[in-house]
Amino acid sequence: MTAAGQERHVAFDWGGVFTVGTFDGRSTQNLAERAGVPVDRVRESYFRHVRQLEVGAWSLPQFYDVLAQETGVTLPYEAFEPLYLGSIHDNGAMYATLEGLPRAVRVGLLSNNYPVVSDHLRRDARFARFDALVFSNELGHKKPAPEAFAALEVAMGVPAGQVAFVDDVQENIDAARESGFHGLLYSHEQHDRFRGELAGWLGVPVP
């Protein structure tokens, strides 16, 4: 750890960091296969409207109603929600790293996320390790907006300059740096290299 008063901490994105691959890609593929409709049709509607979820303008049932009407999907919402949540593919290596971080290190999350999914994550026992959770659907702003990073800094309770932000999208890393954070670009295929970079930043071993 660095000198007193200059302790270093870390905050993470969720999708593509604590998951392998993109949640959106997997969920649209799974829905298309279950419903028997072309995946391109599902994705066109999904990605055209998903911002409404990300900023909390729509509930998940509202979003699904529009998606179903536009694509011809006939599954009831009660079948869609567990399929949607079941599309999460955990990155076990990152969860192991999270659990192994020294308790003196504050840990945050800033995620462009959705109603129901954010609630699902909060119920995950592994998320108890986070000291701060910032979800775009609750905040009303999504990365790379500066408002999202300002909210993360407040939630972390320490200056941005003492926090590394981990994301798998370069645009978000650039925005984090512009907001004063130390940016670490992540790929699950290079997790060991990432651990070394994070350990170097924190000044402590990272398991």
Q: Is 157 helix (H, G, I), strand (E, B) or coil?
A: coil
Reference 163, options 204, 111, 207, 108; nearest CA is 108
Q: Which residues are paired to 87 by β-bridges?
A: none
- Evaluate whether 110 touches 134 at the Cβ level (below 8 Å): yes
| pLDDT at position 40 | 98
- Evaluate whether 44 touches 23 at the Cβ level (below 8 Å): no
Residue spans of beta strands (DSSP E) within 71-196: 107-111, 132-135, 163-167, 182-185
Cα–Cα distance, 166 to 194 (Å, whole number): 9
pTM: 0.93
* Residue 21 binned pLDDT confidence (cut-offs 50, 70, 90): confident
Model confidence pLDDT, tens digit, residues 135-148: 999 999 999 999 99
What is the rounded average pLDDT of the residues 185-190? 96
Cα–Cα distance, 129 to 111 (Å, whole number): 16
What is the rounded average pLDDT of the residues 166-190? 97
Contact residues for 168 (Cβ-Cβ < 8 A; gap 6+) = 13, 15, 16, 17, 185, 186, 187, 188
Please say whether the structural domain 9-21+90-202 has been given the CATH code 3.40.50.1000. Answer: yes
Domain assignments of the chain as residue spans, ordered by start: 9-21+90-202, 23-85
| pLDDT at position 95 | 97
Cα–Cα distance, 157 to 39 (Å, whole number): 43
What is the rounded average pLDDT of the residues 175-179? 98
- Give the CATH fold of the 23-85 domain: DNA polymerase; domain 1 (1.10.150)
